[in-house]
A and B are shown apart, each in its own frame.
Chain A
Amino acid sequence: MNNKFISIPQLVVLMITNRLVISITFGSSSVGGNDIWDCIVSSVVVFFLTFILVLPNYFLFSKSNNLDIADISEILFGRIGNVITITYALYFMLICAYTLASFKIFIENVMNPPISFLVLSCAIIIFACYAASKGIEAISRSGSIILFFTVFLLILMGISLFKVIDFTNFKPFFFDGYDSFNNGILFMLSRMSCIPAMAMLIPMSKGNLKQGIIFWNVSVLFLISSIIFFVTGVLGELSQIKLFPIYTSTSVAKISKFENLDALFLGLWTCAIFTKISMFLNLSSECLRKVFGRNNNKIFIFFLGATLLFTNMFAKITNLSSGIFDTRSLFILTILTSFVIPLILLISKKIINRASI
């Protein structure tokens, strides 16, 4: 099966899984600032900003007869439009590399298990290539099952953590200034890779897009707010010095005789990472397929997979992966692909008014 159409609930599943992977890396050291608690206000602001960012994509693709960013840019600008498509392909690959790099930092700096990260990341990339070759529908279907179990486990952990929450950890908002609030907005927006992904996913989707986007955004707000609430409540000041405070707080969770449920949670996080990398590999290969006018994207998947594998090995030797975490560069790229390019295409579409779009 290589079905290229998905339903709106499947689109929502993919986008929530996408955000879930990023949410776990949330922490004072990655966001910057003194108090992660202020980020709860940032998440509310980002909630509204997301609606604004989604608008160009929504208007450009919701009635585009299944034409994606590659098709529209080619219709509007001819072969020059391929530059836009390649930009998207590169951005999607960057997200794959970023996800893998975050995973690497986490595994090597926090968990430090007696396994080789190189072997693990190679396994993830190879299997993600396989998943990407199976098509976006297969990824979204498996993603929905993974998301179900992840949400189930999150609820379970929420219940187990609720009794260890210290309510004195919650300080008034902006108690230590506005740094955390500002950095929180920048961090969340810069990691909003699902909006550029919409440029490829919306044309593949069938159903009520408006409802889907609202549901996704509300779910993300709820997810991030809950995470910040639990991390602050359980860890308090400790959350500021921990690289991955969410992991630290899950390690406190215990159900009956079973303690240290963090490993289980991280297992599911691995599944989410796998889904995210598969999805972006598939989207990137779709962009390249359109640029090169091929019928099958499998060759591009394996080319991109090999590139990612090579980059992953190369980054390990030279430690280049640290550059990928620069929030400002990521922010510029995300805004460019999620808002600026779709807006330019939308305006061009209105001006040129091509009947085929």
Chain B
Amino acid sequence: MILDDLKKFFFKEDKKVYTSNETHKIDLSFRKVIEHFHIEFDYGSDLIIREINIFDTKSCIISMDGMINKEIMNEIVKSIINSEYQENNKHYVYEKIRDKISSFPDQIEVFTYEDALTMLLAGCALLYVDGYNSILVFGVQGFEVRSISEPTSEKSQRGSREGFIEVLRLNMAMIRRRISNPNLKFETMQLGSTTKTFVAICYMNDRVERKILDEVKRRLEKCDIKSVSTSGCISPYLEEEGDLSLFSSVGLSERPDSVCGKLVEGRIAILVDGSPTVLIVPYLFVEYFHNIDDYAMKPYFASLNRIFKFISFFIAILLPGCYVGFSTFNPELIPSELLNKISLATGSTPFSLMMETLLIHFLYEIMRESGLRLPQNLGHAVSIVGGLVVGDAAVNAGLIGAPTIMVVALTSISSFVIPNLYEPIALLRLLFIIAGGTLGIWGIMVLLSVVLVNLCSKSNFGIPFTSPLAPFGLFGMRDSILRTSWKSLSKNKNNIQQMPGSKY
């Protein structure tokens, strides 16, 4: 079944399997066939060609090292060798194996080297019998895969514990298991002129907007990338052309339940082989603040959580800038007791408040980056050195004021509330510190206006990024900053193409 599937999309639907449309028929000569595969792989060590004799007929099993299930393959080979053959005829031997001996369900026949090669690279085993101009393909893929576990970046309290893994077919199956509806459709293609990575476009046939789907396909087909090592590689190709925004309008998720929820709303998911992160388009700004747990909780608590996330976002980008700007240019905005403490703490430090905050932020980003890539035990050590030794020592030595450390710490914690927005938050935070440190509250406000314009001007696949906030739509607000009850959410269709400001 999997093989049929593979064959269908490799040879009928997908035109990008080969760079050249030229096909070469399988040779009749045993040596020529073996030579052909050796030349294709430049005598590479991972190509395994096992020569066997079947009733005095020269044959061979071709496979890639580590990509097949050896036990299953062993069973197939055993049944082929141990069978009884009445005629010592090459054609008879091959046809008997094909029609009678091998009862393996995922078995097909290919007639060109190109088809055989694609199957081989997909993890299938090939059986060639001397003197016959076709090859039998057995779907015995059996490479090692990571077990399905909860994604560390999208933990859930009440949702499923399953997360996507690196194998495309298993990820597709995880979605299919959750949406038992024939309208769920997968379309596959290969991207990357060198890696030829399998990519699956997934959508609900009855809910997706056809124009959006066509545009997604068009953009992916236009994608002229050489290597697709992760889903992030094709993400920029799904953004609007000439979009230089800090925010991405392509959503990411490692959770099948989350992706299924988006698919039901008419969105399109793009799964990339080798990556556990699924891309979702079109994606709205408010969705960065949503979490699968929101839908498992009571609506008022879910709404409260979302409001907190929005507040955290604003704290994460604005707090250090406001701290610097207000303390330097608009101290009247800070309560006098607090201002006294800030001036006492920062008055004796050698740097200006802006420099001090920038310095701490740079230190924090360095420590975060080092802690992120290190083994867990060393990561803890970095945190201790960073938090206690550097932070505490810097304050005690009078190099940095304690309020600055506190502001940076609070900002960092707030930025982790919306992990998918960390990149724009980190950049904006620095920009706001500079704006606040040079132009005070006016600089912060002007920069905030620019960020707003940037966000509001963004639109992907004809859906405004800031919808349903701006343009405002009360219907769309049912599941944006606030979340209404499931009874209300399930009453009407709430497809993405029905968002306010949508072109459709």
Q: Interface of A with B (CB < 8 Å)?
A: 1, 3, 7, 9-10, 107, 113-115, 119-120, 123-124, 127, 130-131, 134-135, 137-139, 141-142, 144-146, 257-261, 263-264, 266-268, 270-271, 274-275, 278
State whether A134 touches B439 (Cβ < 8 A): no
Residues facing A in B452-496 (CB within 8 A) are 452-459, 464, 466, 469-472
24 A-B pairs with CB atoms under 8 Å apart are A113-B442, A115-B329, A115-B438, A119-B438, A120-B443, A127-B449, A131-B453, A134-B454, A134-B457, A137-B456, A138-B456, A141-B456, A141-B464, A142-B455, A142-B456, A144-B471, A145-B470, A146-B452, A263-B330, A264-B441, A267-B441, A270-B446, A271-B448, A274-B449
> Is B335 engaged at the interface, CB distance under 8 Å to the other chain?
yes
A9 near B438 with CB under 8 A, answer no
Known: A134-B453, A259-B335, A263-B330. A274 touches B446 (CB 8 A): yes
| Chain B residues, Cβ within 8 Å of A113 | 329-330, 440, 442
Bound: A9/B466 CA distance, A: 16
Tell me the smallest distance from the CB of B392 to a CB of chain A, in Å.
29
Residue numbers in A under 8 Å from B330 (CB-CB): 113, 263
Confirm or deny: B272 has a beta carbon within 8 angstroms of a beta carbon on chain A: no
Cβ contact within 8 Å between B442 and A127 = no
Supply 16 further A-B pairs (C-beta < 8 A) apart from A115-B329, A120-B442, A263-B441: A1-B457, A9-B471, A107-B442, A115-B440, A134-B454, A135-B457, A138-B457, A142-B455, A144-B471, A144-B472, A145-B469, A145-B470, A258-B333, A259-B332, A263-B333, A271-B448
CB neighbours (8 Å) of B240 from chain A are 1
Using Cβ atoms and an 8 Å threshold, which residues of chain A touch B464?
A: 1, 141
Q: Is the interface of B mostly helix, strand, loop or mixed?
A: helix
Q: Are B452 and A130 in contact (CB under 8 A)?
A: no
Find the B residue at minimum CB distance from A131. Answer: B453
The answer to whether A144 and B470 touch (CB under 8 A), given A115-B440, A119-B439, is yes
* Chain A contacts for B448, CB-based, 8 A: 271
Q: Mark B422-451, 1 if CB is under 8 A from A, else 0.
A: 000000000000000011111111111110
Q: Measured between C-beta atoms, what is the minimum distance from B354 to chain A in Å?
A: 13
For the complex, give the distance between the alpha carbons of A138 and B455 in Å.
Answer: 8
Name the residue on A nearest B441 (C-beta).
A267
Q: How far is the CB of A117 from chain B (nearest CB, A)?
A: 9
Given contacts A113-B329, A115-B438, A141-B471, contact A270 B453 (CB under 8 A): no
Q: B453–A120 contact, CB under 8 A?
A: no
A-B pairs with lowest CB-CB distance, top 6 = A138-B457, A141-B456, A134-B457, A141-B470, A142-B452, A260-B332
Nearest neighbor of A278 in chain B, beta-carbon distance: B453
Q: Which A residues are in CB contact (< 8 Å) with B458? A: 1
Given A113-B329, A258-B333: A142 in contact with B453 (beta carbons within 8 A):
yes
Interface contact A270-B452, CB-CB below 8 Å: no
Report the minimum CB–CB distance from B65 to chain A (whole Å).
50
CB pair A114 B329 closer than 8 Å: yes
Within 8 Å by CB of B450, from A115, A130, A267, lies A130
A268 to chain B, nearest CB (A): 7
A41–B454 alpha-carbon span in the complex (Å): 41
Which of A9, A123, A127 neighbours the largest number of chain B CB atoms within 10 Å of its CB?
Answer: A123
Nearest chain B residue, comparing its CB with the CB of A3: B459
- The residue of chain B having its C-beta at the shortest distance from the C-beta of A251 within the complex is B332
Which of A7, A10, A263, A278 has most B Cβ within 10 Å?
A263
Query: Which one of B441, B449, B472 contacts A266 once the chains associate, using CB atoms below 8 Å?
Result: B441
Closest CB in chain B relative to A255 CB, distance in Å: 11
For A139, the chain B residues whose CB sits under 8 A away are: 453
Q: Which of A1, A135, A260 is packed against the most chain B CB atoms within 10 Å?
A: A1
The listed residue (B447, B459, B471) touching A1 by CB distance below 8 A is B459
Residue of A nearest to B335 (CB): A257
Interface contact A258-B335, CB-CB below 8 Å: yes
A139 to B466, CA, bound (A): 13
On whether A264 and B456 interact (CB within 8 A), knowing A10-B471, A141-B466, the answer reads no
- Decide if A7 touches B471 in the complex (CB within 8 Å): yes
Residues of A with C-beta under 8 A to B446: 120, 123-124, 127, 270-271, 274
| Residues on the A chain within 8 Å of B459, using CB | 1, 3
CA distance A312 to B419 in the complex (A): 43
Contact B439 A142 (CB under 8 A): no
Min CB distance, A45 to chain B, in Å?
33
CA of A29 to CA of B337, assembled, Å: 37
Contact at B470–A115, with CB atoms within 8 Å?
no
Docked complex Cα distance between A124 and B448 (Å): 12
Q: Which has the most chain A C-beta neighbours within 10 Å: B335, B440, B442, B447?
A: B442
Closest Cβ of chain A: how far from B94's Cβ, in Å? 61
0/1 string, B95-115, CB within 8 A of A gives 1:
000000000000000000000
Tell me the complex Cα distance, A278–B454, Å.
13
Chain A residue with the shortest CB-CB distance to B455: A142
Known contacts A139-B453, A142-B452: does B471 contact A123 (CB below 8 Å)? Answer: no
Q: Which residue of B lies closest to A275 (CB)?
A: B449
**Chain B residues with CB under 8 A of A270:** 441-442, 445-446, 449
> In the assembled complex, which residues on chain B have CB atoms less than 8 Å from the CB atom of A263?
326, 330, 332-333, 441
Q: Interface code B331-361, partner A: CB below 8 Å = 1, 0 otherwise?
A: 0110101100000000000000000000000
Report chain A residues within 8 Å CB of B445: 267-268, 270-271, 274
Min Cβ gap B477→A in Å is 13
Given contacts A10-B471, A257-B335, contact A131 B449 (CB under 8 A): yes
